[in-house]
Structure 1
Amino acid sequence: MSGAPVVVVGAGPVGLTAALLLAGRGLRVVVLERQAAPYPLPRAVHLDDEVFRVLQAAGVADEVAAACRPMAGLRALDGAHRVLAEFRRAPGAGSNGWPQGSLVHQPDLEAVLAGAVSAAPVIDLHRGVEVTGLAQDGGGVTVRATDRATGADRSVRAAAVLGCDGANSSVRGLMGARMRDLGPADRWLVVDARSAEPLPIWPGVHQVCDPRRAATFMPVTGDRYRWEFRLAPGETAAELAEPARLAALLAPVVPADRVEVDRAVEYTFRAQVADRWRDGRVLLAGDAAHLTPPFVGQGLGLGLRDVHQLAWKLTAVLRGEAGDDLLDTYQAEREPHARALIRVALLLGVLMTGGGRSGAVARRAVLAAVRRIPAVARLATDSRTPPLRRGPLVDRRGRAGRRLAGTLVPQPDVLVDGRRCRLDDVLGDGEAQLSADLEVRRADGTSVRVEDPSGTLRRWLGAATSVRIRPDRIVAAARS
């Protein structure tokens, strides 16, 4: 393995999580962030139970959870804010060991991640540094960078580069990748506000299915609340943010004098995927690789899943345990999931907000039927990673393989020598094998037998005699 560090460009949640995951595998990491200070205002607000397993792998899940609030689910409302349908999420831990959905104030999340990064001796974080060039050769990548305050050269030699630098990624531009549209752009006014007194609203996400003015509102954490309003063609955020108009928009939920507005800004939500996620040892993750509409709350979740997978694959390559062709499987495995969730977000956007007046009438009837069909209703709240297709790292042969390979192993609480712990912590950070008698064989050669008080693992295994689990907790193969 090269002695050069991995350079992560971007110190948002995806970049900081990537740094922690790589450091946890023994790699040196340098994080370069263009901005001089963390962004102080909220952006992403939703984390699901799968991505909490990524944060668990990064060592920060419990601290992040303490800053979150479980999300009750989704309510679809008509233009008069009457409930059309309700899709609940269980408040307790689900099959992944964490609440199905949690709401978070992104600066709180970033503060936890930044604290963990500062405590990691193998991670160096440099803010106010702009990446201006990348030059690859057989030994690695030279990252040309400049201190934005002083103009000093901050270039660094890297074993690999991860572009986690957001929708306007400089790394994506430097590697010559382009974004491809999967659907039209959508302009919204986003309003973040605070209330000294708790507002009497249901503790979930409310989707206003009004084609005249589609909207979303939700309590976030503590005294924080968010509203989003779709902008009409030719309309500007500044117009809607005028006090009288903003008060009218908030009125169905709360009088405007009950809240203090932190900001009211325009966001353009896009549905896009980059045509290339890799150029040699330069790779993209998060918003640099894909952008999604907001309807399933997966913009951040997709990026955290990206780096969970990328961390173990890149480590294997840099340690000489695998060839560079392992990195070819990154986009091959992650892009279909990103595309699938983007399509779901586009579909839900049309179903919940499109169609004009006739669409509103039809929507009431459709939602009444949908909420009685569990498999369809799950679309509104379910962000599970779809099973990976058969490929070099997924063996779907046999009945057990076809059922389990490519899926995430569940994470119930298990007992080890009478001590309760989470399954992922027992599996370790490498590949592991789980047998029908509940023996875990880890990558370091050790083995341990677990007890399954809830019976979750036994039910999930079914007739399988053993499963091989990848470091990202996806089943590589299952045997009957």
Structure 2
Amino acid sequence: MIVAARRRIGDHLQHFDVLVSGCGPTGGVLSNLLAAQGLSVCVVERFPEVYPTPRAIVLDWEAMRTLQYCGVAHTLFPSTRSHPGTDFLGVDGEIIKLFDPAPPPYALGWPSTSTFVQPELEKMLRRALSLRANVTMKLGCTVTGFAEDSARVVVTIADNATGASETATATFLVGCDGANSEIRKRLGFNLEDYRFDEWWIVIDAWQLCDTELPRKTTQYCWPSRPATYVVGPGNLRRWEIKLLAQESPAEFDDPARVRAVMANYVDIRCFDIWRSATYRFAARVGDRWASRRVFLAGDAVHQMPPFLGQGLCAGLRDAFNLAWKLVLAQRHGGSDILLSTYETERKPHVAKVIQHAKEFGLIIGEMDEARARERDRILLAELREGRMTTTRQAFIPDLTNGILTNDQLSGSLMVQPEVVSSGRTRLMDDICPMAFLYVTANPAAQTWMEPHADAWRRIGGQRIVIQSSAGSVPDGVVALVEAGDIFARWAAANDTAAVVVRPDRYVYATVQDENDLTHKLKRLDGQLGLVD
């Protein structure tokens, strides 16, 4: 049914700043980010209720930071589990590769990786949307057609239960409608195949009693039957098990067959299976990500194997990257230059992450014993000689294209320190808006911004000083006292007096002096290409 739909006024169609097709995590996050910035948003979702079983199970610290701006991170966090790291077991059961989690204090304010229950997150995102007066939710509905021109997109929406249809207009349309995206198909865009095509069964189960289990998430790199074990939150546990060449997905419709395969890794008497499903793991990236006013995000434009835990995280990066650009474009009359950087920035980034996920999948899924033993020999040597990268986040690249400079920090994420505000300790992003920031540790460096203050305010820019103790600051500058030393150590290690930070918290530029700031703000102005 259509929920909370706005009525037409006279003969005018309902009009929204952005219409989002799909309210999974990517669509839910994008809609919340846009609405929190004051844009009118219409969310069209084919399922009236949240899909009841999990798919994604991993969030990284960048994803949690994004969820802060949706207002759900702190609510979700108590139900998550900090990821304990990952061991890769070779043919003979020896650890041949590993990931260890980053210890606290956490550079981005959250554990580097956490496990969670997806339906819980989706309910929180929908709840947050339902409380926003500028959001219209059309649940149980589908976008059945659209046409775009230079000023708007005209969208046809059908009620799945009754077949009734209506028409709305939007300045922008975003397809967050999954791997089988109808928006992508109607645009005529294709997916570039990275040639990873394997059938796996995914089993989520509740642990009912004590039994011997690995302490860490475990990759069973066994040619006889490759598998993954994931330590979920609470008593939720997951197994991802590769189908053998002679097996078909239909065989695993039989619960007895599922439990028989699961028994290779655990005492199944201690588990109640929540759900099992066969998936065709794939590695694909959209050849195009946008038309003039229509964009794709999440699984609609890329799919990746799960071996790096980055599928959902990549979709949330899409949402944050696109959200702040749509906000600026809407407020300043549109900017083709600005909006074109969505694909420029996100496509190579997600392609690199997918490449890494595929590489790990090939390590785990090798089914030829001779090649597997040679793999073990090479990886063991790297591990024992200290040549192996053992931090998962090292495989998540910085941005390398788009709205950036050529500074050493440009394209990396700014740290998120804890700061003292109103007598209590909070994370920086809970205080600073989703906007451009000019951040310094020295109030004197804030005087460099004075000649540009009006232009900075026009794009919503904020001026921040982060210090170890309270002190006076110029007018219009927000003073924050750091509770720890994450920001102080980060600034000192990178020898920078100030940084310009994008709304998605990627560093735009480091700043060394007043002339340097003037030059970089002029460059930023050209890259944004805003009308006013």
* TM-score normalised by length of structure 1: 0.92
Match of 2:6 in 1: none
Correspondence 1:369 to 2:381:
yes
CA shift digits 1:157-201 (9 cap, x unpaired): 111111111100011111111111012211111112222225442
Superposed, 1:136-215 pairs within 5 Å as 136-215=148-227
Structure 2 SS opposite 1:450: strand
Instruction: Return the match for 1:387 from 379, 398, 412.
Output: 398
CA distance in 1, matches of 2:384, 2:497: 36
Q: CA deviation at 1:55?
A: 0.4
CA contact (8 A) 2:419 2:481 kept: yes
Correspondence 1:114 to 2:126:
yes
Match of 1:326 in 2: 338
CA 1:138–1:84 in structure 2 vs 1: closer, same or farther (change >3 Å)? closer
Structure 2 SS opposite 1:382: helix
Letter of the structure 2 residue corresponding to residue 471 of structure 1: P
CA 1:20–1:316 in structure 2 vs 1: closer, same or farther (change >3 Å)? same
Correspondence 1:421 to 2:426:
yes
Q: CA deviation at 1:85?
A: 3.9
CA contact (8 A) 1:67 1:109 kept: no
Letter of the structure 2 residue corresponding to residue 68 of structure 1: T
CA contact (8 A) 2:19 2:172 kept: yes
Match of 2:317 in 1: 305
Aligned-pair Cα RMSD in Å: 2.3
CA distance in 2, matches of 1:372, 1:412: 35
Larger mean Cα displacement after TM superposition, 196-205 or 15-24: 196-205
CA contact (8 A) 2:425 2:483 kept: no
CA distance in 1, matches of 2:334, 2:125: 29
Match of 2:228 in 1: 216
Structure 2 SS opposite 1:279: coil
Correspondence 1:40 to 2:52:
yes
Letter of the structure 1 residue corresponding to residue 295 of structure 2: L
Superposed, 1:20-419 pairs within 5 Å as 20-79=32-91, 81-90=93-102, 92-240=104-252, 242=254, 245-320=257-332, 322-354=334-366, 356-372=368-384, 376-378=388-390, 381-382=392-393, 385-389=396-400, 391=402, 393-396=403-406, 401=407, 403-416=408-421, 419=424
Larger mean Cα displacement after TM superposition, 122-131 or 277-286: 122-131
Instruction: Return the match for 1:16 from 11, 15, 28.
Output: 28
Report the structure number with the largest CA radius of gyration.
Answer: 2
Larger mean Cα displacement after TM superposition, 328-337 or 356-365: 356-365
Instruction: Return the match for 2:496 from 464, 469, 474.
Output: 464
Structure 1: 5+ residue runs without aligned partners? none
Larger mean Cα displacement after TM superposition, 366-375 or 454-463: 366-375
Letter of the structure 2 residue corresponding to residue 477 of structure 1: A
Instruction: Return the match for 1:477 from 505, 509, 519.
Output: 509
Q: CA deviation at 1:57?
A: 1.4
Structure 2: 5+ residue runs without aligned partners? 1-13, 450-459, 464-475, 513-532
CA contact (8 A) 1:341 1:383 kept: no
Structure 2 SS opposite 1:306: helix
% identity of equivalent residues: 36
CA contact (8 A) 1:203 1:218 kept: no
CA distance in 2, matches of 1:366, 1:152: 61
CA distance in 2, matches of 1:278, 1:352: 34
Larger mean Cα displacement after TM superposition, 457-466 or 279-288: 457-466
CA distance in 1, matches of 2:483, 2:381: 37
CA distance in 2, matches of 1:73, 1:23: 36
CA distance in 2, matches of 1:383, 1:104: 22
Give the total of aligned pairs. Answer: 472
CA 1:358–1:263 in structure 2 vs 1: closer, same or farther (change >3 Å)? same
CA distance in 1, matches of 2:253, 2:227: 14
Larger mean Cα displacement after TM superposition, 131-140 or 417-426: 417-426
CA distance in 2, matches of 1:82, 1:376: 16
Match of 2:477 in 1: 447
CA contact (8 A) 2:344 2:401 kept: no
